[in-house]
Structure 1
Amino acid sequence: MKQKRDLFLCITCLLLALLFSMSKERGAEEAMAARIAPEILRFHVLANSDSTEDQNLKLKVRTLLLNTIYEEMGENASLEETKKYVRTHKDSLEKKAEMYMKNLGYDYPAHMELANTYFPTKTYGDMVFPCGTYEAVRVKIGEGKGRNWWCVLYPPLCFVDSSYAVVPDTSKEILRESLDPSDYLKLSTENPKIHVRLKLVDLLKKQKESKEPISENRK
């Protein structure tokens, strides 16, 4: 009985330690996000629903809008120029998306806005952006109740081809010049999720090992 109680207390302590570590790590990520967010503009597309058709449509609309934005702005647009472009071309971009969807047989409205949105930790190529609140170009298709897709619009890190795993040097240079050196280093080399996953695996392993001798003693 005492062994069971000790095991329970041990597991409880480990879980509390894990939760504390995860909370502390998340707090550090969100603090970093608050520091780097003013230099970054995210891109967020919400599908009408989770149906296969609506999810595929979401990706098509995403590609259409990204290609239009990048082609019309040019390669050297600044952060403020990117925001200004979105504000001034909002109506035309919405209409273009709606016309595109109508030609595909969908009568969905498209709504675009600049909004502050909470994003989870996300990897783009060889860079990891921490969870936190960022300003984003938010596109809602129809009801906007389906799974969403996001990327970094500025500096350009929107990879339509998911197999493209290298961040352009020009985008890295923009980040290097605009961010604190220590934040840039963390952004380009750390993946917080890995640490949490390893701790959880280690915990489960210890739990399994702790149960084995108790089972043998009861026989």
Structure 2
Amino acid sequence: MHILANSDTVEDQLLKLQVRDAVLEQVTAATQYAETKQQAVQTLRTAMPDLQRTAQRTLRHAGSSQQVQCRLEEIPFAARRYSGFWLPAGTYTALRIELGSAQGHNWFCVLYPALCVGSSEARYADTEENALVFGGYQVRFALLDTARSVWQKITD
């Protein structure tokens, strides 16, 4: 899930977090029984109108007139350290939620397997799923590796 705030003002960033909480609760309930990425994506496609209404209602309740756009799309993400894992860089299917002009800082999390849900009811990825998603990848930087190697030779 990838949420972009209208702007970087404190107010817009707080609105983004309110929308995150409301939509994440709904997404968690909708996808809790998905056993594959494809099932999770199909469930999100079906729930999209409700997710958009939830986001819009959350903004209205907070007194905001910002518009909301929700869609599923392929988005390139950089490698990131997340909840004890390295997420490899790549293009991922994302539930993208744009608030207002979507010019502010973003927030993201992994919906499947569910790594962003803090609820005790959430289904977290098991070891096998983590290996499938994250296994075999280690983000390294060639320049840094070369510099370490040279430094090691100098100091030995």
- Would you call these one fold, judging by a TM-score over 0.5? yes
> Matches of residues 192-207 of structure 1 in structure 2 within 5 Å?
192=140, 196=144, 199=147
Distance 2:145 2:8 in 1: 28
Q: After TM superposition, which residue ranges in structure 1, 4 or more long, deviate above 6 angstroms?
A: none
- How much is the aligned-residue C-alpha RMSD, in angstroms? 2.9
- Aligned 8 A contact 2:18 2:58 in 1: no
Which structure 2 segments of 5+ residues have no match?
152-156
Structure with the bigger percentage of helix: 1
Quote the residue 1:174 is aligned against. 129
Letter in 2 for 1:53: E
Q: How many residues align?
A: 146
Mapped pair 1:94 → 2:52: yes
Q: 1:196 to 1:95 in 2, by over 3 A?
A: farther
Q: Deviations over 1:159-188 (max 9, x none)?
A: 569xxxxxx452x42243x45xxx6143xx
- Aligned 8 A contact 1:63 1:160 in 2: no
Quote the residue 1:20 is aligned against. none
Q: Deviations over 1:139-170 (max 9, x none)?
A: 11111111111111111111569xxxxxx452
Q: 1:160 to 1:45 in 2, by over 3 A?
A: farther
Letter in 2 for 1:80: Q
Larger radius of gyration: 1
Percent same amino acid at aligned positions? 28
- Aligned 8 A contact 2:34 2:40 in 1: no
TM-score, normalization by structure 2: 0.79
Q: 1:54 to 1:185 in 2, by over 3 A?
A: same
Which structure 1 segments of 5+ residues have no match?
1-42, 162-167, 204-219
> Matches of residues 16-95 of structure 1 in structure 2 within 5 Å?
43-95=1-53
TM-score, normalization by structure 1: 0.58
- Aligned 8 A contact 1:120 1:130 in 2: yes
